[in-house]
Homo-oligomer: A and B are copies of this chain.
Amino acid sequence: MLKLIPDRIEIRSGKQFIVLLNQKTAHILDLHIGDRVKVKNGKKELTAILQISEEGVLDNHIGLYMEAWKELKARRGQRIRISLAEKPLSVKYIKEKLQGKRLTPEEINEIVKDITEDDLSDIELTYFVSGCYVHGLNNPETAALTKSIVKHGSRINFGKRKVVDKHCIGGVPGNRTTMLIIPIVTATGLLMPKTSSRAITSPSGTGDTMEVIANIKNDAKKLKKIAEKVGGFITWGGGVDLAAADDHMIRVRHPLSLDPEGMLLASIMAKKHSVGAKRVLIDIPVGPQVKVKDLRRAKHLKNRFMQIGKMLGMKVKVIFTDGSQPIGDGIGPLLEVQDVMKVLNNDPTAPADLREKAIYMAGLLLEMGGKAISGTGKMKARKILKKGLALEQMNKIIDAQGRKRIPKNAKLIHEIKSEKDGKVVHIDNKIIARLARVAGAPLDAPAGIYLKKKLGEKVKKGEALYEIHSDNEDRMGFAKDMAKQDSGYVVH
């Protein structure tokens, strides 16, 4: 075995050990870029990823990135030995998945373990996503993937207390039911610890909206305390690391915007499972402008959710809701917070659609959690809201997470007016969402769109359809131009 002269490379490589050879040395040793190699300095030994460069290291030298140099206790004048390391078993399973094989739970667990521990390269991980995308993951595979993601992520354990949760398959602007359901449900003593996403392509995610009034970055330990004290929280999932493997898979799916169905389902279920939620309500908005376009697809997803839930020992209820227009009046973090607070305050100008959807869903969760007998959940939820118990509960949650000062409304407000008399027959979710983003949401919390007319409402020529809110003149100008080209509304 060739002995190599160590050179220290002044770069951190992160979690993985990285070593560097030049092309000639690598060829002589029959090693390839990306190979896992065993590197030895006397009795010190580690497994590293091999990089190969045309220059940077001399023949018979080995470049050691800082972590590897330290771990090997390398010094000038020493000699380092290198050899090909065995490939992890998971690489074999990934190849089999790519060939169309069904994987066993043990095989899936091995892959997820190696993903979590950063033992797979991006190329290997990409082959796994490819295999799952092309050949699909059936229900047992998806359940196994869910379990493995949970097993290798952090968890929050609430012992025997009943934990409920909800999830919405996105695409509907303004749909902030979570911020109403949680105070209603937790007011009865049920636990509902919710990790939410930030906006990805929407003008605001529940995380962004909650962030206007409360701190949403807490670690798992702090979150457990909050939930035990006040019954629930609304926090950003990214700060908790509940599903580290899932984050890696999402990163690799991003460049091609791949949504392998099984991975999507596992990703959702893992986040519920990791906080011990055994009763989960799934909201699938259906409509031509949202993610799930028709009832056939919605029913297919419902079946999969139910069956995977069963395999995971979770009680899952799936509802189909209206995805034909935004929910609530405000779109954008601050405007959505204002909608939510109006509902909690029983303000007569509060958006009814948001309130009614939240009451409906909260009612179902009360029934699932044994806090209301079948058919009476909705009534009970409404009562809790009416009595101000939900508002009280929301204030406790905000204080527990850390209250923030709510910013002022946007300085610039521009009305988009109807060009004729008639009735609103269509609102384009995508155009409204894009306008809100252009106006500055979610980065500028006050920016967004405030709807003055919803589907079916009568409108007169010159009457406002909606307002654009922005703090930035350029953005406002751009949004106005866009709205002039296509307001997103059809009035007939």
- The residues of A with any CB-CB pair to B shorter than 8 Å are 2, 11, 27-30, 32-35, 87, 91, 94-95, 98, 100, 121-124, 126-127, 130-131, 133-135, 198-201, 251-252, 254-258, 443
Contact = CB atoms under 8 A, between A and B. Distances in A.
A127 B253 CA distance: 10
A198 B34 contact: no
Given A27-B198, A30-B443, 11 more contacts: A30-B200, A30-B201, A32-B254, A33-B254, A35-B254, A95-B256, A121-B255, A123-B123, A123-B252, A124-B255, A127-B256
Contacts of A100: 134
Contacts of A133: 98
A255 B91 contact: yes
Q: Which of A28, A127, A131, A255 has the most CB of B within 10 A?
A: A255
A122 B49 CA distance: 15
A100 to B, nearest CB: 8
Contacts of A123: 122-123, 126, 252, 255
Contacts of A122: 122-123, 126
> Which 3 A-B residue pairs are closest in the complex by CB-CB distance?
A130-B130, A126-B126, A95-B256
Contacts of A35: 254
Within the oligomer, what is the number of copies of this chain?
A: 2
Nearest to A474: B1
Nearest to A11: B11
B34 A251 contact: yes
Q: Which of A32, A98, A127, A254 has the most CB of B within 10 A?
A: A127
A52 to B, nearest CB: 9
Nearest to A2: B443
Contacts of A256: 91, 94-95, 98, 124, 127
Contacts of A257: 95
Nearest to A444: B28
20 contacts: A11-B11, A30-B201, A30-B443, A32-B251, A34-B254, A35-B254, A87-B255, A94-B256, A95-B257, A95-B258, A98-B130, A98-B133, A98-B256, A122-B126, A123-B252, A123-B255, A126-B126, A127-B255, A127-B256, A134-B134
Nearest to A33: B251
A37 B199 CA distance: 19
Given A34-B255, A251-B34, A256-B95, A130 B124 contact: no
A133 B198 CA distance: 36
A346 to B, nearest CB: 35
Contacts of A2: 443
